[in-house]
Amino acid sequence: MKRAFLWLDNISLNKKLFMIYVLCIFVPIITFVSLFYSSMNRELKQKRVSELNESLLRIKYGISKEIEIAKSLSDRLLLNESYYTLFENTEESVASRYEYRRKWDQAIQQHLVSNPKVDNITLYTTNHLLFFGGSIQPLTEANKNESWYKELVASGKNMIVTTIPETGRDKVSIVRYMNYALLNNIDVLRISLDENVFAQLALEEAQNAGILQAELYDQHGKPIFTINKGIQEQEGISLKDSFAQSGLLGGWSIMIRGSSSLLTPELQHLKTRFIFLMMGSLMVTSFIIYLITRSMIYRMRILSQQMRNIKMNRFDVISHSPGNDEIGMVIIQFNMMVARMENLISEVYEAELQKNRFLVEKLNAERNALYSQINPHFLYNTLNVMMAKSMLKQEYETVSIIRSLSKLFRRLTVWGSDLIPLGEELEFIREYLNIQKYRFEDKLQYEIEMEHGVGLLLIPKMCLQPLIENACVHGIEKKRTMGTIKLQILDIEDTLSIEISDDGPGMSNEKLDELKKRLEGNYENHKSVGLHNVYKRLGMYYGDDLDFRVISQLGHGTSIFIRIPLLSIRQQGDKYDNETT
């Protein structure tokens, strides 16, 4: 329970009110409508299934009735007088037997006329004294090998219903023995029904009951007829039933598929009205809740925005009418708090500004103290004399070093602008490293890499040379073997990245921690004066945007990383230009 309350505490007020609306109004209404519609749909579907089941029973009854009519016809033919006379008088004259055959054909024709759904009546017999042709055919070995005759024999019954291929289609036929006790012949009567009889029954029922598909299968599962209106419906209702095993159609089955479009126009109209009523209720309740909650949400949103502004040092009071409820009281107290905080910050800011002024003056005094240790005119005159004598002696390497030294001291004694292009600072470092290389000879190697495009960025003067000097004094000078100093200046994701590293003896973790404490604290001694000045000057210009790190490992050298966003560098450069113009 406690976790649930904590979870709710972390959700915004706007989302909480939305949850109340969804869970207490929207979801109940939708649930009620869904349950009502589901119940109505279920009842209508059950009713629809009952209607289709009645249609299926009517189709079954119609098919059984047609089969029963054909069976009755076969019974009448068996008891017909012309059948007996046809077989009893086979030894009479040809004329008499022809007359009996004519009477049999006449009887067959009368039955075909009175039963239009019967397509054909054929008697197969082994009596070869009869006149064959038309409705009387000899029962040959070929007939006995046909499926309908084999099925009659295999059934062990006197009569069966089967399908017989005729003219490219399977016709439903009644096949039965015409047993006459006085004769030893094998007589088989076959009554073929019209192929459209059963399909017509299903079609009539389909028009009345909305049946989309109907199929009749014989005892072997072979389809006798198929009715398909060509309507594709994904959720149709299918029903299947089998005929009684005790009847002639034992093993036969019928399947129908009806439409699941259950709603009548009246019910559809009622459903539409109910949906509109539900949507109207949701809109009215939503509008009322919006009016009630807007007052709270709007003022809470303003209050939240003003609190975020405080994080960005913007102390603005809320000008919107607070109201007289609990939220209004909070807004009034917030305005009072903001006014008090602004006064306190102003007081602290003035005190901090005064402190920074003293610090800047102290740093400038320390910088000037370094420069004033050297007499400029004395150095220039001495260096010029040395360079002239070296030229006379053709000591050109010495001349080059003296020239670099002269440039170096001239820059140290003439300060000029406090911000200079990074490329100019790099040229000064090259002159300094050339002098150090002359001093250490082959003991010093250096590598300088600067990405194209960053040389015009304005940075504080003399912010890199003291770091190079530290690398020479504390890194290379203390090595017995050759040492390397690397300077890498890159633009990485709109950030100026400067790395100065050496492979000197490095520092222990204790000395590194002590160095970091001296950088963060006030400068109190002469150790690391160059590094300390560089760190403080960069901090004065770039503040929290400056990322200054010293990494060292005993026996593996020291590296200094400086990261400054290009936007901050350009802003300080523009500010310096505006102040100096």
- Give SS3 for 156: coil
Rounded to 5 degrees, what angle do the CA atoms 207, 208, 212 make? 50
**Closest by alpha carbon to 201, among 161, 166, 172?**
172
Phi, psi of 558 (to 5 degrees): -135, 145
Residue 498 is predicted with a pLDDT of: 94
Q: Quick one: tokens of 30?
A: 């939708």
- Rounded to an integer, the average pLDDT of 495-509 is 91
Residue 545 has pLDDT above 80, yes or no: yes
Q: What is the pLDDT of residues 301-316, one digit of tens each?
A: 777 777 777 777 777 7
Q: How many CA atoms lie within 13 A of 539 on its CB side?
A: 15
- Rounded to an integer, the average pLDDT of 460-482 is 86
182: left (phi over 0), alpha (psi -120 to 50) or beta: alpha
- Give SS3 for 425: helix
Q: What is the pLDDT of residues 335-351, one digit of tens each?
A: 788 778 777 777 777 66
CA distances from 114 to 109, 286, 363, 511 (A): 9, 75, 131, 125
Q: How many CA atoms lie within 13 A of 58 on its CB side?
A: 16
Residue 269 is predicted with a pLDDT of: 67
8 A C-beta contact, residue 90 and residue 130:
yes
Residue 11 has pLDDT above 80, yes or no: no
Q: How far apart are the first and last CA of the chain?
A: 67
Pairing relationship of beta strands 223-228 and 211-217 according to DSSP bridges: antiparallel
Quickly count helices (H) and strands (E) in the chain.
17, 16
Q: Quick one: tokens of 43?
A: 């009842």
What percent of the chain is modeled with pLDDT above 90? 7
- The Cα–Cα gap between 85 and 74 comes to 17
**Closest by alpha carbon to 500, among 572, 426, 443?**
426
Residue 355 has pLDDT above 70, yes or no: no
- The Cα–Cα gap between 243 and 226 comes to 18
Residue 82 is predicted with a pLDDT of: 64
- The Cα–Cα gap between 193 and 392 comes to 138
- Rounded to an integer, the average pLDDT of 212-225 is 80
- The Cα–Cα gap between 569 and 456 comes to 11
Residue 560 is predicted with a pLDDT of: 93
- The Cα–Cα gap between 29 and 49 comes to 30
Q: Say which range, 30-34, 232-236, 492-496, has the weakest mean pLDDT.
A: 232-236
Q: Choose between 262 and 538: higher pLDDT.
A: 538
- Rounded to an integer, the average pLDDT of 25-41 is 77
pTM for the predicted model, two decimal places = 0.43
Q: What is the pLDDT of residues 50-92, one digit of tens each?
A: 888 888 888 888 888 888 888 888 888 777 666 666 665 555 5
Q: What is the pLDDT of residues 396-409, one digit of tens each?
A: 666 667 666 666 66
- Mean of per-residue pLDDT scores for the chain: 77
Residue 563 is predicted with a pLDDT of: 95
Encoded amino acid at 248, one letter: L
Q: Which pLDDT band, with edges at 50, 70 and 90, does 358 fall under?
A: very low
